[in-house]
Amino acid sequence: MAGSFEIRDNFYLNGEPFQIISGAVHYFRILPSCWEDRLKKLVLLGANTVETYIPWNLHEPKRGQYRFDGLCDIERFLRTATELGLYIILRPSPYICAEWEFGGLPGWLLADEEIRLRVSGGPFLEAFAGWYDVLLPKLSHFQIDRGGHVILMQVENEYGYFANDPDYLKAMRELMRKHDITVPLFTSDGPFRENLNGGRLEGALPTGNFGSRTDERFETLKEYTDGGPLMCSEFWVGWFDHWGNGGHMHGNLEESVRDLDRMLALGHVNIYMFEGGTNFGFMNGSNYYDELTPDVTSYDYDAVLTEDGRITEKFRRYREVIGRYRSLPKYVEPVPAPRRAYGVVPVKEQVSLQATLGRLSTPVRGVQPMPMERLGQELGYILYRTTLDTEESVEKLRLWEAADRAVILLEEEPLLTLYDRELEKEAVIEPDALTDRQRAAFTGTPRKPGTGPELDILVENMGRVNFGPRMEHQRKGIGQCVQINGHMHCGWEMWTLPLDDIGAVDFSGAYTEKTPSFYRFVFSVYEPADTWLDFTGWGKGCAFVNGFNIGRFWEIGPQKRLYIPAPLLKKGDNEIILFETEGKAADHITLKEEPDLG
């Protein structure tokens, strides 16, 4: 039956005042078989609404190629929420931030070197309009005035932090109305006048994103709502971790409880995050202020539920607060999903990247290297290969317009590794830094073309920046040239390595220690349960469980174990493959029953 949702001095559901008590649940960070469990716990908390972003880049990984299955089955998620009686807030804007790769924008946008992001006119709007042509018809029938449970939809996200183009915001609004989006619209911005000035839009309720100082933030917001309701669209209850930050981030529970109480006394709230989940695959984002800070695989966020969906003390305290503002469902302590330690698993097979490269990629040849995006690649790694036919040695090396991390090998042996700002400088290679094999390769000049010492540069996209103007400078790989001994070096093979088919790795090939390599493990499971891959003794790379990319690992922490949800496992033999890039490997991994987020 069709209903109504209105914004006046308050929110009104079917003509009656309605207080939004919402929790953020990102369907794309949780396996679909776990969605119902997480949403039932949101109901148990006392919430009446669920909120989620919709990441454009996950749903349209290649231009014109769309995914709505598995983690991308947004309609299944919305049906599940509806069946549980939750109302729904959708945030389908092109940009989501969310500590997600490129803030949700597709990397293929950057193949156009002239593109400007999130402004009116030009190729960005054209590409986004094509996405909305596909997405919005899938969402419109879930709106409350069509008999569904969607009550609000976001036009843009934190736009006032990024720019102030009113024509762009109007174009976003008109695209939504063109596709029969009829529920009330809103924007969300930082709780400061500058942000709200740049991000406001006629016909959309302004809301704020913040985690503290509720009275002050709502007072500022009140200046922009024209007497309408006050809402915190992202009540930050924790924070995210980045590699090397020294330890897992925690919020202040007592302050958080007080802020939630004030929000509900004064207005409406969306708890960010109810459950954070996991940055599966290569989908973590990064920030860049003074240095590159890529986010870890876990998006635990010190949220109301743990990464694997367990009840926390924060859940219990928040439920007490919510109970002051609405009647709560009867509390029955949820039975936690079982955890299990499957123990030590030895390496079964191993092969160097060099030996299986031809099974994973086909090279593109060019005079100068090209970035990933011009080669039709968005995520993962890319290998640049050349021969040093005219060099007498390698004394200086510089990668121009390179990002984010480069492992460089000469004659299949490690030469050096460059990361972040090290890529902007010329590296000086001392003669004694070369191995005997590397030095010997330079004897016997002059050489015929293609017979010189072989140089490999393996570059990793560690997650595109998801916030601020640097987003327009996120091409990965090598964008301009490689300078060797003071001159540009020409003649390259470029091997794209998105690793989207890990089954193509051929473990029958040769293995060379201390080089980028694949490692295979097999372990038996009698009853699948949640477990954690402890990567102690391993350097840096990514992990695949029965073909599914569970994310990145890096010895610098703070995260020390990767979450393996039970639905990824099966009774009988299970396979784990690690791709390790630094040449640092142990002879085993360990599967443990507890997380270690640092």
Extract the tokens encoding 480. 């301009």
Q: 558 preceded by cis ω (within 30°)?
A: yes
Q: What is the mean pLDDT of residues 553-579?
A: 98
Distance (Å, rounded) from C-alpha 39 to C-alpha 377?
Answer: 35
- Predicted pLDDT of residue 565: 98
In this predicted structure, the answer to whether residue 250 has a pLDDT above a threshold of 90 is yes
Q: What is the mean pLDDT of residues 305-314?
A: 98
The DSSP H or E segment spanning 264 is: helix 253-266
Q: 259 preceded by cis ω (within 30°)?
A: no
Tell me the DSSP string of 377-431. Answer: --SSEEEEEEE-SS-S---EEEEEEEESEEEEEETTEEEEEEEGGGGGSPEE--G
Nearest to 417 by CA among 437, 432, 397: 397
In this predicted structure, the answer to whether residue 445 has a pLDDT above a threshold of 80 is no
With cut-offs at 50, 70 and 90, classify the pLDDT of residue 315.
very high
Tell me which residues are annotated as active site.
158, 234
Strand-pair category, 492-497 with 364-366: antiparallel
pLDDT digits (tens, 9 = 90+) for 330-359: 999 999 999 999 999 999 999 999 999 999
In this predicted structure, the answer to whether residue 121 has a pLDDT above a threshold of 90 is no
SS3 content of the chain, % helix, strand, coil (to 5): 25, 30, 40
Q: What is the mean pLDDT of residues 54-72?
A: 98
- Predicted pLDDT of residue 443: 83
Distance (Å, rounded) from C-alpha 32 to C-alpha 27?
Answer: 7
pLDDT digits (tens, 9 = 90+) for 362-380: 999 999 999 999 999 999 9
Nearest to 427 by CA among 480, 478, 482, 388: 482
With beta carbons less than 8 A apart as the criterion, state whether 179 and 209 touch.
no
pLDDT digits (tens, 9 = 90+) for 393-432: 999 999 999 999 999 999 999 999 999 999 989 999 998 8
In this predicted structure, the answer to whether residue 446 has a pLDDT above a threshold of 80 is no
Strand-pair category, 477-484 with 487-488: antiparallel
In order of 175, 199, 202, 506, 522, the CA distances from 169 in angstroms are 10, 8, 9, 50, 52
pLDDT digits (tens, 9 = 90+) for 136-175: 999 999 999 999 999 999 999 999 999 999 999 999 999 9
- Predicted pLDDT of residue 449: 85
Q: What is the mean pLDDT of residues 528-541?
A: 98
pLDDT above 70 coverage of the chain, percent: 100
Nearest to 482 by CA among 402, 593, 414, 552: 402
Distance (Å, rounded) from C-alpha 531 to C-alpha 589?
Answer: 12
pLDDT digits (tens, 9 = 90+) for 260-295: 999 999 999 999 999 999 999 999 999 999 999 999
Extract the tokens encoding 484. 């060797």
Distance (Å, rounded) from C-alpha 403 to C-alpha 471?
Answer: 13
> Quick one: angle between helices 74-83 and 35-45, nearest 10?
40
Report H helices in 179-252: 193-199, 214-222
Position of tokens 């919005």?
136
Domains of the chain: 5-322 (3.20.20.80), 343-351+501-592 (2.60.120.260), 368-490 (2.60.120.260)
Distant-in-sequence, close-in-space partners of 487: CB < 8 Å, separation ≥ 6: none
Nearest to 226 by CA among 514, 9, 498, 536: 9
- Predicted pLDDT of residue 1: 83
For 23, list phi and psi in degrees, rounded to 5: -130, 140
Q: Which of 112-116, 279-283, 302-306 has the lowest mean pLDDT?
A: 112-116
Extract the tokens encoding 179. 């596709």
With beta carbons less than 8 A apart as the criterion, state whether 282 and 461 touch.
yes
- Predicted pLDDT of residue 408: 98
With cut-offs at 50, 70 and 90, classify the pLDDT of residue 444.
confident
